[in-house]
Structure 1
Amino acid sequence: MEQPNYNYTDYDYNYDPNSTVDYSNFVYLCENFAANSFGAMFTPVWYSLAFIFSLIGNTLVLWILVRYEKLSCVTDIFILNLVTSDLLFAFSLPFWAVDHTSGWIFGNAMCKIMRAIFFIAYYSGIMLLTLMTIDRYFAVVHPLTAVRFRKVHYAGAASLAVWGISIFITIPQMIFCHTVANENQSSCKITYPPKSAHIWRLLGYYQQNLLFFLFPFAVIVFCYCRILNTVIRCKARKKHKTVKVIFCIVVVFFVCWTPYNVVIFLFSLFELQVPEFSTCEMENHLTYAFYISRNLAYCHCCLNPFFYAFVGTKFRNHLIRLLSKCFPCAKICKEYSSTNTTTAKHNSSQICSDIDLPLNLARVEM
């Protein structure tokens, strides 16, 4: 979501009722240099960290998928697409870090390209997380139905649909994105036509709130509540581990994305000129909140590999095998050996105790 660029308001914060000056045609500037300076200092550092951790985590997942998993099941297809989305998202972050520090120095064409990559990755990531949750729900709660529909080619078609929808939704941002020259430097911004800018901004706010937060969050909470109910009814030894994983997935999604969407909703009230939210002081507070909440939301791409891959038995074993080859002198081999022994014992137990929740959506690790 593009930062709301408000630097004026129709309200006179220094209005003098005894003055003979006609204030009706004045537009009063709202100075927010401190908030923008905070964003210029804070955002590049956070983007750089998010880029590094996302690159490391998602590259490891991608390597393990290609090297060991061979993309032979539905889960692998979804994780591959989620990793691709996260890597695309992370790839754009260094460009926006430079934009915050030195301005946009890459030209107008790259402005449109990077903005398109950013939004395509952003939209596809949210939809893929929702799709994976729905798939996991059917695999655990309705396993007989899932057997018929959980096919690799169906997963591929659903993933292609997600990418197609993401590209379609991104078209307006790519069209209206331009390099804007300021006094000291240029920046890559979305500039809507003046006559329809108000409607476009409101559409962007509520699209973000409804389609890419409230709806996915409602689906995720519903699906995981049903999964949790199914897991609790299973008589297994590692039930509490699965409950903790489910709880962490929901909580992390909520913590990362809720503050950002609340700020976006408050900006929509500012756009609608609701009196309590149309003051210069409120605008500055919202700008500070926007920078902080946006950076918190964007770090979610760093956490996806952990919750959707590395907490699962298969991926964890593959990761240990990979690290044992890179660091043969470490004690990883012992851990790998003990993990394999434990896994082998679990394979001979009942189905409920053999479920691998984060990885094999047809089975839930208890």
Structure 2
Amino acid sequence: MDYFDNDDLNEFFTEYNYTGYEGQVVAGEVPLCKKSDVHQFGAAFLPAFYYTNFLLSLVGNGLVLCIIYRYEKLSTVTNIFLLNLVISDLIFASSLPFWAVYHKSEWIFGRGLCKLVGGCYSIGFNSSILFLTLMTFDRYLAVVYAISAAQSRRKAYAFASSAVIWVLSILASIKDIVFHDVMNSGDGLLCEMTGYHQIFLTKWELTGYYQQFFLFFLVPLVIVLYCYIRITIRIMIMSTRMTEKCRAVKLIFIIIFTFFICWTPYNVVILLKAIKMSFGEQNDCSNALDYALYVTRNFAYLYCCISPVFYTFLGKKFQNHFLKLLSKRIPCLKIDAAMLSTTSKTTSIKSPNTDY
């Protein structure tokens, strides 16, 4: 996790000639950049945001799990994918309280948790976007190729696809698990990529930036856009009810717009940082990209934490389940739940997210 960017690590290496392990020495001059303003901004702004995201994720994903357990089970491909998305988001969210404390002071949790939390953050973050992409592709198959895909969309397909996503996410996160370690900056303990020569770490950091932009943003974005465009065309051709057409297209627009707004700014900043590291001046100590990374990254984090809730409650079926759940606690909602149940049964056109 890049709380302290490459320039910050250069500062520590220059002042202390230390990489985190006794006996390992990094020689050579490196640029010295002061980032105290950026660190103060992060300490003031990020902890509250991380705690809020953690609580939203815990409540929202817990609610989705409750609905799946009580009303849905793992009877469909969609529910299997949704369960995996919830798990990935909870894994990611579990790292946020640790990073909140870290930003506020220093790393106080030891070396083992440094690696574990860094790994959970990376695995959860990577798998979340991949599962969202997989769910979009599955909706595309179910709507555009409804008849031919019915035979292939079985539980075995869902479990195999989910396993592939987890393997890819873990492989992409190995560097974060291996390289994250505790280092002493002189002012406190840090949990960063350390323990190896700075040139080696910089190359891996650069690889991580390009990996994030291309594998975990550009490819998913292209797939999401293509699938929902094809779904929209299919709905406009096949649907006979104008109200259902409008509702389905509106939901698709909301999904694409939210995905784009939350993920694009962060990944553009990631790409700019990668370009700066690759081709920029080594003595450039400007803070603009550091501030931008702090702000835009949190929009991506927010989307990760709320995506299962967002995708779930766009569909009428899960709205109905939610009202049923509430009606057991709030009697006045029983009528509304019954009305929604009747409406969903008489709906003849299935939107791309009805199963969610």
1:255 aligns with 2:261: yes
Tell me the residue number matched to 2:2.
2
Residue 245 (structure 2) pairs with residue 242 (structure 1): no
Helix, strand or coil at the partner of 1:72: coil
> In the aligned structure 2, how far is the partner of 1:202 from the partner of 1:90?
25
AA in 2 matched with 1:251: F
Q: Which amino acid aligns with 1:88?
A: I
What is the one-letter code of the residue matched to 1:5?
A: N
Matched residue count: 335
Larger Rg: 1
Shift of 1:273: 3.8
Quote the offset at 1:37 in angstroms: 0.6
* Superposed counterparts of 1:40-59, under 5 Å: 40-59=43-62
Whole-Å Cα distance in 1 between the matches of residues 170 and 266 of structure 2?
23
Tell me, what secondary structure is at the counterpart of 1:162?
A: helix
**Contact 1:68–1:318 (CA<8 Å) still a contact in 2?**
yes
Identify the residue that residue 12 of structure 1 maps to in structure 2: none
Tell me how far 1:28 sits from its aligned partner.
4.8
Paired residues of 1:307 and 1:358 also in contact (CA < 8 A): no
Alpha-carbon distance change, 184 to 278 in structure 1, aligned in 2, over 3 angstroms: closer
User: CA–CA distance in 2 between the matches of 1:68 and 1:6?
Assistant: 51
For residue 355 of structure 2, the aligned residue among 350, 354, 360 is 360
Partner SS for 1:178: strand
Structure 2 residue 184 is matched with structure 1 residue 181: yes
Would you say the 8 A contact 1:140–1:230 is kept in 2?
A: yes
Query: Would you say 1:280 and 2:275 are equivalent positions?
Result: no
Alpha-carbon shift at residue 71 of structure 1 (Å): 0.9
- Determine the C-alpha separation between the residues in 2 that align with 1:339 and 1:133: 25
Asked whether the 8 Å contact 2:317–2:344 carries over to 1, the reply is: no
| Identity value in percent | 43
Residues in 2 aligned to 1:239 and 1:91: alpha-carbon distance in whole angstroms: 39
The one-letter amino acid of 1:176's match is F
Match of 1:223 in 2: 227
Which residue pairs with 2:160 in the alignment?
157
* 1:308–1:359 CA contact under 8 A, matched in 2: no
Q: Does 1:211 align with 2:212?
A: no
Whether contact under 8 Å (2:323, 2:337) holds in the other structure is yes
State the partner residue of 1:335.
Answer: 336
Q: Secondary structure at the match of 1:189?
A: strand
The residue number in structure 1 matching 2:18 is none
Consecutive unaligned residues in structure 2, runs of 5 or more = 12-27
Question: Quick check: 1:120–1:167 contact (8 Å CA) kept in 2?
Answer: yes
2:236 corresponds to which residue?
Answer: 232
Q: Give per-residue Cα distances to partners, 1:33-87, cap 9 Å, x unaligned.
A: 1111101111111111111111111100011111111110000000000011111
**Superposition deviation, residue 199 in structure 1:** 1.8
SS in 1 for 2:181: strand
Counterpart check, 1:270 vs 2:271 = no
Runs of 4+ in 1 over 4 A off after TM superposition: 25-28
Within the alignment, does 1:289 sit opposite 2:292 as a pair?
yes
Q: TM-score, normalised by structure 2?
A: 0.89
Q: Supply the AA of the counterpart residue of 1:253.
A: F
Question: CA contact under 8 A between 1:312 and 1:358: conserved in structure 2?
Answer: yes
SS at match of 1:57: helix
Q: Which amino acid aligns with 1:338?
A: M
8 Å Cα contact 2:213/2:271 also seen in 1:
yes
Task: Provide structure 1 residue ranges, at least 5 long, that are not aligned to the other structure.
Answer: 10-24, 362-366
**Residue type at the aligned position of 1:343:** S
1:199 partner letter = K
